[in-house]
Amino acid sequence: MKISRRHLLAMSGATAAIIASAKLQAAEKAAAATGLKEAYKDDFLIGAALSASIINKQDPKLVAIINKDFNSITPENCMKWGEMRNEDGSWKWGDADAFVAFGSKHNLHMVGHTLGWHSQIPDSVFKNKDGSYISKAELEKKQKEHITTIVGRYKGKLAAWDVVNEAVGDDGKMRDSHWYKIMGDDFLVNAFNLAHEVDPNAHLMYNDYNNERPDKRQATLDMLKRLQKRNTPIHGLGMQAHIGLETNIQDFEDSILAYSALGLKVHLTELDIDVLPSVWNLPVAEISTRFEYKPERDPYIKGLPKEVEEKLAKAYESLFKILVKHRDKVDRVTFWGVSDDASWLNDFPIKGRTNYPLLFDRQQQPKPAYFRLLDLKR
């Protein structure tokens, strides 16, 4: 029987599809057996930020994902001042203790987040009842009490701390926060010294967003050099890495080299890649920023188009190629969340959007980006 050219082409296409499907199934099977933490065990830690909801609900599916793919965890919110302290200054330990118990049970590297931040902290910490600022000595006393109490409680259990968070503004100047207005650079110096005195074995980091960008990178380097001149015990630099599909990934390589030249270990601390249309000129993680909801700003309610899914996978792949290249300088890569359904980017900077920034989808299934990262290590 003679087979036409059209039928040959159809058979060829079908064969290619079968081969592609077989490759995908093989990749998924390998992933089920391997997981990210195993694939990158010779490179750096692979972490995830966990919400209090994840910790308290202990959903078996999510716990299984965490155990298979991650060997480090960071609390999303439960160790921030506003979550740990009542208005009168008394402590709320429940969620933070549950986080540490979870990490200890599953033998996970744990990072504390965060000891000093301008956000999620009441004005009453800084101001008198008449609205005037308290004295520097008064704030130093409050800072000492806060840091020594929390670091002391978890000494020997948490391997690392984001000691100070986001002290440099997007304008390349020191952020004009209440902390900085009252204490200046002493805000940072004291925070690191206090944490180090209480737990000398903890790895202490400065953490910020957009500090891979050349302008903010330089401002951050200038600050770090000032602090190092004062013998401040800073051991690591955290790049949050809240980025978008159009972010210049090369900036990360330049930043890894620049920060490690100061003797600091580099961490990607809050990695996610926003796939939705930007409503500003650059990715910003200042949580007070909000924009109005409009349908055109939320285009993927019914699912992420394949071409965008591919862009996301390529973006993650490009970034991880750089990280693996500089594995000797990078300690950890932590994703800000586990799966898309619970990502903070569903509500930031516009409440109610449908975002897809992580490696696991809204049904907690691994996405093409996940398999792309596994493929890098095969």
Q: Residue 156 burial by CB count (10 A; 0-12/13-18/19+): exposed, middle or buried?
A: exposed
What counts of helices (H) and strands (E) characterise the chain? 13, 9
Residue 371 burial by CB count (10 A; 0-12/13-18/19+): exposed, middle or buried?
Answer: middle
Cα 115 to Cα 203, 227, 269, 273, 352, distances in angstroms: 13, 17, 15, 26, 30
Strands 242-244 and 236-239: unpaired
Q: Is 310 a catalytic residue?
A: no
**Catalytic residue chosen out of the listed positions 270, 292, 307, 317:** 270
* List of residues 6+ apart from 233 with CB closer than 8 A: 192, 193, 195, 196, 204
If DSSP codes are grouped into helix, strand and coil, which group holds residue 116? strand
To 5 degrees, how large is the angle CA 12–CA 15–CA 21? 145
Task: State the CB neighbour count (10 A cutoff) for residue 134.
Answer: 16
Token code pair at residue 354: 């449908």
Dist CA 154 CA 117 (whole Å):
19
Among this protein's residues, is 166 annotated catalytic? yes
Alpha helices in the chain (DSSP H): 5-33, 36-39, 52-57, 60-69, 81-84, 94-105, 136-153, 178-183, 186-198, 214-229, 250-260, 306-325, 368-375
Three-state DSSP at 311 gives: helix
Name the catalytic one among 28, 76, 87, 166: 166
Q: Give the gyration radius of the chain's Cα atoms.
A: 22
Enzyme catalytic residues: 166, 270
